[in-house]
Amino acid sequence: MLGKYSKTALAVLLAPSISYASEGEHHDDHHEHDENKIEKIQVTASRLGRIVTESATRTEIINGEEIQEKALMRPGNISMLVAETGGVRVQNTSPALGGANIRLQSLYGRYTQLLSDGLPLYGGQTTSIGLLQIPPTDLANVEIIKGSASSLYGGSALGGVINLISRTPSDELEGEVLLNATSKNGQDITSYLASPINDAISASVTAGVHNQEQQDLDDDGWLDMAEYQRATIRPRLYWESESGANLYLTFGAMFEEREGGTEEGETLPDGNPFIQSQDSKRVDTGFIFDQQLGDVINLNVRGSAMRQAHDHIYGLVEENDTHDSYLLESSVSGYSDDTAWLVGVAYQSDRFDSESYSAFNYHYQVPGLFSQVDYEASDEISMSISARTDWHSEYGTQFSPRISVLFKPESWIVRGSYGQGFYAPTPFIEDIEDVGLSRLAPLDNLKEEQATTASIDISYVVDSIEASVTLFASDVDNVTELEVINPLDTQSDKQVRIVNASDQSEIRGAELLLRYRWRDIKLTGSYLFTDATKQGDAGFGREPLALTPKHSAGAVIMWEEHGSHLVGFEAYYTGTQHLEGNPYRERSEAYWHLGLLGQITVGRVSYFVNAENLLNVRQTKEESLLLPMQDPSGRWTTDIWSRNDGFTVNAGIRIQFGH
């Protein structure tokens, strides 16, 4: 007796890294056409691979249709793709180079684990520039788990997980080429090709070339848009044996030269030029092997390796370094009637080596043991309990639990979750990633950053209407932050150091979401309220976290007839934000971002044009990004709280071929 799990669901449950799809509608399609055959590997963020509507762990989905729309707006990277999801904020961390990270429910970007097909191919801590080096060309879905996911993925997932799921080859040759150009002298060429090789093996390859010319939009001698040239390539191989074993292999390479700072011949208030550049080389590889052992047991083995080399220039300072990251993991899963379970072991390694500042070198080695149990108490109630113990080489034993509960009465879906996790500090907090290590004192006596997160999510779905509200809360202890060293301190020749905050950061908020579909028209509205505070600088009272708007909202209307046309309009509101280290103001201004997208498809060829920032919002219209004098950390700019690219139009052509 199979209990509540159908044959198809069992195939998913037995393979923690394999599922039919991330959405109910996709799953139904696969179920209808091929009930007994496991799909080619498609990794999900939930360890036990449940269908998203049945999982107690809330997993938000950016589906393939949305990905295709966002790829027309920003073919070169995934920043716009994830930025327009409720509770997700892409925060610019480098006004010189344009770097950005992803904040989930206002938690710091360094707490977000970025995965590719369930593997940390971009490292345990994805750098802010790294986010801008990932094209969306080959994505099928994106899954987002908000709140502590350390119980599933270790310390790098303290704030949540974003899992980029690649397209899998069909039974016939297929592919596409996209050409794009922008009004700010940017160009993109991306391509995707997938094909079966024989009955057991299929393969895909994604490649891209991207270029952006430097832009000084306010003519102050400081580049508002950095110049870069980048090339990427990623082949993937899929193998499935007659016995049901599956193997997935991938390899990636990326090369980029990026330069910002002062324009040639220009100087800063101290009379000197300040060139800021970063040359990046990244190679990575990963595999997932899955084998059924008997009727109810499944073995899963996965691993990845990544090396990223950087050559930095910060004015007159050169810094060369390498980041290495490794993962090896094995798990066994199974089921019995209404219960699915998983037990696994993992070994993670993160290493940083600086040629110029070896005092910051570290090598974290983290063996771990994790488990998960999903239980269906009835047709309406289920729960998921996961826990992980990591033995960190620097910060000792860390225990990370998470519990999620699902209640589904008729058209309602109610979820609750509670989790705890940790993060191992590194020198690369937001304030340092943009200025380098030359002025930073060596790390000393730091404690691991810890967070407790909780949320309640209530959704109502009927016919073409979906509405939901989410209440969330996070308490973060030992937050690492930058502190200016007293100039009278003769014990150090450095200007700044990283310390643990004396009190916890507290984040409380609510998300509202409304989706409505009428024939070919989709309407989405969202609102996010956030109350995020930390202890005041004076040691008493509380003050808002910087760059965290209390109010933000968005609305998107899209009219699409597949194979014919697409027209979309979007409007996003960002409220005022508390600012730190800005001599011009203590609070930002609120602003709107408006965009308009159009596409016409004739046969296999699509022509598109996209207009972004229709109101031409630009922070440098109000005041300069440049500081009157260099900050002790080495920085020459304020934070970016608005936009710095102005009104931009991009247009291009997408050619599809094959199946």
Q: Is residue 247 part of a domain?
A: yes
336: exposed, middle or buried (Cβ count in 10 Å: 0-12, 13-18, 19+): exposed
What's the confidence (pLDDT) of residue 294?
A: 85
Total domain count, the chain: 1
pLDDT for position 13? 34
Q: What SS3 state is found at 33? A: helix
Query: Is the Cβ–Cβ distance between 145 and 395 less than 8 Å?
Result: no
Contacts of 457 (CB under 8 A, 6+ apart): 58, 413, 414, 415, 416, 468, 469, 470, 471
Residue 33 clears pLDDT 50, i.e. is over it: no
- Give the chain's mean pLDDT: 90
Instruction: Compute CA distances 180 → 139, 377, 449, whole Å.
Output: 18, 51, 42
**Token pair for 265:** 């011949």
pLDDT attached to residue 318: 96
Q: Is 252:234 a contact under the CB 8 Å cutoff?
A: yes
How far apart (Å, rounded) are the C-alpha atoms in residues 176 and 193?
A: 7
Range of the domain at 622: 52-266+286-315+322-658
Burial, 78: exposed, middle or buried (Cβ in 10 Å; 0-12, 13-18, 19+)? Answer: buried
Residue 588 resides in a domain: yes
Q: Model confidence at 540, in pLDDT bands (50, 70, 90)?
A: confident
Identity of residue 127: T
Nearest to 640 by CA among 582, 598, 595: 582
> For residue 18, is it within any domain?
no
Please count the helices (runs of H) and the strands (runs of E) in the chain: 7, 31
How many angstroms separate the CA atoms of 95 and 223, rounded? 9
pLDDT tens per residue across span 600-618:
999 999 999 999 999 999 9
| 10 found inside a domain | no
Q: pTM for this structure? A: 0.91
Question: What average pLDDT score do residues 424-445 get?
Answer: 92
Q: Which residues are within 8 A (CB) of 622 and not within 5 positions of it... i.e. 6 or more apart? A: 584, 589, 642
Rounded to whole angstroms, the Cα distance separating 67 from 164 reads: 11
CB-based contacts of 156, cutoff 8 Å, min separation 6: 111, 113, 120, 124, 125, 423
Is the pLDDT score of 39 beyond 70?
Answer: no
pLDDT the model gives residue 220: 94
Cβ neighbour number for residue 219 with a 10 Å cutoff: 10
DSSP character for 408? -
Residue 637 lies in a domain: yes
Give pLDDT tens digits for 184-212.
999 999 999 999 999 999 999 999 999 99
Q: Residue by residue, what is the 3-state secondary structure of 107-159?
A: CCHHHEEEEECCECCCCCCCCHHHHCCCCCCCEEEEEEEECCCHHHHCHHHCC
Identify the DSSP state of 3.
T
3-class DSSP string for 443-488 = CCCCCCEEEEEEEEEEEEEECCEEEEEEEEEEEEECCEEEEECCCC
Contact 97, 105 (CB under 8 A): no
The domain that holds 399 is classified in CATH as 2.40.170.20
Tokens of 608: 């598109």
In a domain, 429, yes or no: yes
Please state, for a pLDDT cut of 70, what percent of the chain lies above it: 92
pLDDT score at 126:
74
pLDDT higher than threshold 70 for residue 554 = yes
- Asked, for residue 22, whether it belongs to a domain, the answer is no
581: which 2 tokens? 């280290």
Per-residue pLDDT, 40:
37
Query: What's phi and psi for 12, nearest 5 deg?
Result: -70, -45
Place of tokens 């891209």: 208
Q: Specify if 273 maps to a domain.
A: no
Q: Which two tokens stand for residue 178?
A: 């996209």
Q: How far is Cα 556 from Cα 657, in angstroms, rounded to an integer?
A: 30
In the prediction, which pLDDT does 487 show?
85
339 band by pLDDT with thresholds 50, 70 and 90: very high
Question: How far apart are the C-alpha atoms of 175 and 150, rounded to whole Å?
Answer: 37
pLDDT of 51 strictly over 80:
no
Q: Which DSSP string do the residues of 585-627 spell out, in sequence order?
A: -SBPPPEEEEEEEEEEEETTEEEEEEEE-TT---GGGTS-SB-
Query: What is the average per-residue pLDDT within 225-245?
Result: 95
Q: How far is CA 277 from CA 78, 267, 310, 433, 629, in A?
A: 22, 16, 10, 12, 20
